[in-house]
Structure 1
Amino acid sequence: MPRPKSYDREEALTKACNAFWQHGFQALGIRELERRTGVNQFAIRSEFGGKEGFFLKALQYYCDAAITTEMAPMKEGGIQEVIGFLNGLVTPGSMTSSEFGCLVVNTGIENARIQSPRLEAAVQAYWATLEDHFRTALENEQNAQGSGLNFNATELAQALIAAVMGVHARNRTQGSQVAGTALIKVLTTSLSSLVPE
């Protein structure tokens, strides 16, 4: 008969997410991860597939939260919803603003050295999803405004991805939720100028 779990799975994923977000994947040892999450080494192996498996599940938990809350309005919205998402990156209290930057950005940078195909796939899937949300919102705006909006939604969505990465990197290196504010102001002003008054 299997032993009952001594931890709450969602709580453990939240704690793991925060620990990896702050310290990264490689720097966080199993014993420290065990201490921070309340999940013992046996469960990390058997329930989550080891440290990398635990990390991937925490990363997916992080991504799912951002997709279903912060990104979701862009699917039915337009440029104002893109602006709202961008402003959230430098708004204290927003789930996408942190002095630790972004777990996905941090993972991508760290994985340039680690070279884990599974980490790379998870990172690329997140950026593809965000790019799709940006592009959809921009196309929604073009459809709503008619032929007056002359920009390439795909290229602009790709540029916004690079900008989002930069904002998170700035927040992380400065240890501040608002360090990327200047870039966000440039982006939101430029996006606002695309819409006729």
Structure 2
Amino acid sequence: MARPKGYDPEEIVKRATHAFWQHGYQALGVRELERLTGLNQFALRSEFGGKEGLYLAALNFYSEQAISIAMEPMRDGGGVPEIIAFLRSLITDGSMTSSPHGCLVVNTGIENARVGSADLDKAARHYWNALENCFEACLQNAIDAEKISSSIDAKTYAKGLVSAVMGVHAQNRLEGKNTGGRHLVDLLCKQLTSLETS
């Protein structure tokens, strides 16, 4: 009969998410990870396959939370106002998508340029593809409803918005405050508002 685990894997993933989000993947050593999560090295290997496995679990948890909650208004028949609301949430106190640590997915992309993990790259791309699809759907909804011009290429515009979101998160982390990217958000929202026909 297997011995019961002395830890809750879901709670460990939540703690690891915050630890990696704050400190990064490479800078966070196994001993410090043990201290921050309460998981010993044996359990880290047996439960998650090691540090990268735990990081991947944390990244997937972070991504799915954002996709299922923060992006939900855009998926549910959203338009330009829902895109603007999402962008504003990136610099709003108490928002799940706003942090002085930036975005775990953005941070992963930067670090993975050195790490070179195909699994981490796949997880990050899953998040950005979901966001791009939300933006594109909202823009297409607005075009179909004749709220913005049909001359706008929704797919290209959505890709540009994703890159801009990365920039907002990078600025937040650079300045160490969740309002670091405010100027870019203001610019994006002004541009989006200008698309709307009277």
Q: Name the counterpart of 1:4.
A: 4
Q: Name the counterpart of 2:166.
A: 165
Contact kept? 2:149, 2:195, Cα under 8 Å: no
1:88-167 to 2 correspondences below 5 Å: 88-145=89-146, 148-167=149-168
- Size of the alignment, in residue pairs? 197
Deviations 1:68-114, CA, capped at 9 Å, x for gaps: 01111111211110001000001011010000000000000001111
1:40-79 to 2 correspondences below 5 Å: 40-75=40-75, 76-79=77-80
Contact kept? 2:168, 2:180, Cα under 8 Å: yes
Unaligned 5+ residue runs, structure 1? none
- Quick one: structure 1 residues 164 and 148, their matched pair in 2 at CA, closer, same or farther if it must change by over 3 Å? closer
Give the letter aligned to residue 49 of structure 2: G
- 1:24 and 2:13 are equivalent in the alignment: no
Q: Name the counterpart of 1:38.
A: 38
TM-score by length of 2: 0.96
- Give the deviation of 1:14 after TM superposition: 1.0
In structure 1, distance between residues paired with 2:190 and 2:147: 21
Cα root mean square deviation, aligned: 1.2
TM-score by length of 1: 0.96
How high is the sequence identity, in percent, across the aligned residues?
Answer: 53
In structure 1, distance between residues paired with 2:149 and 2:172: 36
Give the letter aligned to residue 20 of structure 1: F
Which 4+ stretches in 1 moved above 2 angstroms?
146-150
Contact kept? 1:149, 1:195, Cα under 8 Å: no
Deviations 1:111-160, CA, capped at 9 Å, x for gaps: 11111111111111111111011101111111112784431100100000
Unaligned 5+ residue runs, structure 2? none
